[in-house]
Amino acid sequence: MLVHLSVNNYAIVEHLDLELQRGMSVITGETGAGKSIMLDALGLALGDRADSGVVRPGADKADILASFDLSDIDEARTWLAERDLDNDGPCILRRVITSEGRSRGYINGTPCPLGDLKALGELLIDIHSQHEHQSLLKPDTHRRLLDEYAGSQELARQVQLAAQRWRQTRQELQRLSSSGDEQRARHQLLSYQLEELDNLALGDNELEQLEQEHKTLSSAEQLLGACRQVLDLCSESDAGNVLSALTASLNRLTAFNNQPGALSEATSLLASAQIQVEEAVGELNRFIDHFDADPQRQQWLEERLDAIYSLARKHRVQPFELTELQQRLLEELESLNADDEAVERLGEELASYARHYQEKASELSALRQQAANRLADAVQVEMQTLGMPGGRFSIELQAADSEEPQPHGLEQVEFLVSANPGQPLKSLAKVASGGELSRISLAIQVITAQTSRVPTLVFDEVDVGIGGPTAEVVGQLLRRLGERGQVLTVTHLPQVAAQGHNHLFVHKQRGSSETRTAVASLDTAQRVEEVARMLGGVDLTEESLQHARKMVTSAQA
């Protein structure tokens, strides 16, 4: 439970320390004294959003600290242990908001995101406010309250996730299937194009070799003529040729014995030149002897090159890029084949998700149906005690219109009420007046709070619009809740205030330059005076004091 709340420089609060007890603690005070400020500050410690406007004027930061005794809250202790945030003493939640708007959260002194504060806070405190009167007109609230009463929140979350997975899978399947005709046409085109390229069977470096061979055959006559002219110049010309000139030159130089060094080097070079010319003549003769200027080979080369060039023009690429194009088309075709496989796989997954959703949603429906009858009966009983004799309350579970998996299950949940005998059951929005809605809301909150696993319940002016004998019943209901744990109640009704086990009085302390909010824990005599003030105004009379004393004594008895 909440054992300590410290608020510093928040709104009009400069410094506030509260020690809180088990049972029902009522919080009262003059209008504008800051009763709800404490609960707002507590909400920040539990992860609510905030801005720089919450910092007290003149201060650089607001600092809020809430301490909890977790000895009876196993779920919260487990949550902390899983994150290595547990300690031996009380659990301390802290929130710091700077005047520049920056915010920091801490759990047991360790910095943490606000989401962690909120998640842990939901295990520690359940806050009911007067604003729930309006949210009670929304079917979403009806479903949430029923699931909380049934203890089926986790199952409801699983149903929501199952519907979400089904919806995401269907969207992906539709995306792939919607382009089915277009993909089939593309698949057919790619298959045809790849077949052409496969039939062409262009080898590595084949194009370069073909072009070189074609160039050689195209100039065969000129090439052979040039080779013969070179042979004639080198070895066959009767008028003189290179080999004969080299031979004669060597004969003249080698006729001398004891040649000088430079002459010997020249003789060696001429001999080498003679050998190289003879080898070149041999290569030319072999080329001429083996050269095949086959016209049919040339025609085949031209047809082969034309096929390559034509296919390249068809695909608007260079001939040497055909191999790369073939690889790209093959990869695209494999991707389309993978899409076909994905469509089949997604279809199977979609059916599997639908079966899983139906299983979980049916289980949730059964729990809702059982809990709906119990909750409706319990709320109807409380309505009688809250000044609505003959009033009826029912929870309608109507099958969802769509056959597709819905995030919130197989049915819509709606609260129906008849405020007066003889009137038919209708939706809350159509029937309840402001006062009736307040009482119905309170009845629902009291009943659902009884099944809550959260040990600390906060009621912030939930008794607005209620008065007379009904107010005393409200106080008795809240006191009954306090006997099973801890209840904090902000109220303006003396009948409710008198029922508290503990009484906190919020008031303003006015200084010379500023006003501060302070909280005092009242003893029995002070409680009587405060209840009397709530009964009769500022001037206390003996009659109001006697009445107040009787109310407090009666409640304690």
Q: Which mean pLDDT values do the consecutive 10-residue runs of the chain (557 residues) have?
A: 92 87 90 76 90 87 94 90 90 93 93 92 80 70 88 92 92 70 70 82 83 73 77 80 86 77 83 90 82 71 84 86 83 67 79 93 95 93 85 91 90 89 83 69 77 80 75 87 87 92 86 71 92 81 89 86
Res 2: pLDDT? 94
pLDDT at 339: 58
pLDDT at 93: 96
Which residues, 6+ apart, have CB-to-CB distance to 159 below 8 Å?
357, 360, 361, 364, 407, 408, 409
Scanning 315-467, the segments in alpha helix (DSSP H) are: 322-385, 428-431, 434-450
pLDDT at 117: 93
**Is the whole-model pTM more than 0.85?**
no
pLDDT of the residue at 433: 63
Contact criterion met (CB below 8 Å) for 80 and 120:
yes
Tell me yes or no: is domain 1-128+461-469+480-519 CATH 1.20.810.10: no
Which tokens go with 234? 């080198």
Would you report the helix, strand and coil content of the chain in percent, each value rounded to 5?
60, 15, 25
Domain ranges of the chain: 1-128+461-469+480-519, 183-336, 522-557
Q: How far apart, in Å, are the Cα atoms of 556 and each of 12, 18, 229, 502, 530?
A: 34, 23, 135, 11, 16
